[in-house]
């Protein structure tokens, strides 16, 4: 079992710089991969996506590739002569149109990018890819490992809550077994108070109790609930992604509890159902983070 949240990072040397890869994930119903990298490396998006896709089946995964200077090193400064010539021609045309000179400071020219430090644009893309792909795989491995650790913690929590639901099921069965008898006592008491006492073997009493007992019988719901709880526990031990299956089982467990509550006709039984639903909601919230 894996969580959909996690983080992994790795670095790789690239000339006098370093490529840093960071991968983080959050929960989503489907698989989404968002990749952020320098514009000059746009062609690397597809190979990076293909690598990351091998390790995830669900969740939003953010992948970031950046080029970092090694501390104490500096890239060579270059003058963009073509850009400077274009700027000069444009300024001359603007001065002619305005009929006056335009004061251009060195700071303004620098902001326009006529001088730049050698960056990823000067590094051949093949070289970048050769360095980046192993780093992406290393970051992905760290990301998956962290998701696995978190998944184990979530698994322990889920199994403990499933055990709590089993206890609620036992209480529901015990309480439901006496609902018909309590209804008979209340019915006879009301008839006696109304001055209409009837013997216990009266056909009308027997028929009323039989109909009520059939209406409020929850044995089928309890049987299906036990099956769902057993499936949930078994699926938690599977190595493949199980988030969608567990989410479906949560819906089925809720259905059985909801039907039990509708049939209850008993205040204490209804309260037990509400408590069980509260515990189930905690399970559903946790399942939303499972791959």
Specify the range with the lowest mean pLDDT, choosing from 15-29, 65-79, 146-160. 65-79
Please give the pLDDT value at position 120.
Answer: 46
More confident residue, 82 or 171: 171
More confident residue, 268 or 129: 129
CATH number of 6-73+122-146: 3.30.230
Is it the case that residue 254 has pLDDT exceeding 70? yes
Q: How far apart are the C-alpha atoms of 47 and 121, rounded to whole Å?
A: 19
Percentage of the chain surpassing pLDDT 90?
36
More confident residue, 53 or 88: 53
Give the residue from 226, 249, 237 showing the smallest Cα distance to 156.
Answer: 237
Longest dimension (CA), the chain: 117
Please give the pLDDT value at position 76.
Answer: 54
Is it the case that residue 116 has pLDDT exceeding 60? no
Is it the case that residue 96 has pLDDT exceeding 50? yes
Query: What CA–CA distances, in Å, run from 135 to 23, 52, 281?
Result: 11, 11, 40
Radius of gyration of the chain (CA): 35
Please give the pLDDT value at position 16.
Answer: 76
What's the pLDDT tens digit per position in 169-186? 888 888 777 565 555 556
Please give the pLDDT value at position 210.
Answer: 56
Q: How far apart are the C-alpha atoms of 143 and 288, rounded to whole Å?
A: 18
Please give the pLDDT value at position 136.
Answer: 94
- 233 φ, ψ to 5°? -65, -40
Per-residue pLDDT averaged across 1-29, rounded? Answer: 89
Is it the case that residue 60 has pLDDT exceeding 80? yes
Percentage of the chain surpassing pLDDT 70?
76
Please give the pLDDT value at position 258.
Answer: 87
Please give the pLDDT value at position 235.
Answer: 92
| Token couple for 244 | 């969608």
Domain boundaries, the chain: 6-73+122-146, 77-117, 150-287
Model confidence at 79, pLDDT cuts 50, 70, 90, reads: low
Q: What is the mean pLDDT of the chain?
A: 81
Distance of CA 102 to the CA centre of its chain: 57
């Amino acid at each position: 079992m894996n969580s959909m949240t996690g983080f992994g990072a790795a670095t790789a040397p690239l000339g006098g710089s370093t490529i840093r890869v960071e991968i983080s994930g959050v929960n989503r119903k489907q698989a989404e991969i968002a990749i952020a990298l320098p514009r000059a490396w746009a062609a690397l998006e597809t190979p990076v996506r293909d690598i990351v896709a091998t390790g995830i089946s669900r969740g939003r995964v953010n992948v970031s590739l950046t080029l970092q200077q090694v501390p104490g090193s500096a890239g060579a400064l270059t003058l963009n002569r073509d850009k400077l010539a274009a700027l000069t021609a444009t300024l001359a045309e603007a001065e002619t149109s305005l009929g006056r000179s335009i004061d251009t400071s060195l700071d303004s020219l620098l902001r326009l990018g006529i001088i730049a430090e050698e960056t990823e644009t000067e590094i051949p893309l093949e070289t970048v890819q050769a360095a980046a792909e192993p780093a992406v795989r290393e970051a992905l491995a760290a990301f998956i490992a962290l998701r696995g650790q978190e998944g184990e913690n979530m698994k322990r929590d889920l199994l403990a809550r499933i055990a709590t639901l089993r206890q609620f099921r036992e209480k529901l069965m015990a309480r439901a077994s006496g609902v018909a008898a309590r209804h008979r006592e209340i019915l006879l008491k009301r008839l006696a108070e109304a001055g209409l006492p009837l013997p216990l073997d009266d056909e009308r009493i027997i028929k009323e109790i039989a109909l009520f007992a059939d209406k409020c019988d929850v044995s089928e719901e309890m049987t299906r609930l036990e099956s769902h709880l057993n499936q949930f526990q078994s699926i938690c031990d599977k190595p493949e992604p199980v988030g969608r299956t567990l989410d479906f089982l949560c819906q089925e467990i809720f259905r059985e509890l909801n039907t039990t509550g509708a049939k209850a006709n008993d205040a204490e039984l209804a309260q037990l159902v509400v408590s069980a639903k509260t515990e189930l909601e905690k399970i559903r919230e946790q399942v939303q983070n499972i791959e």
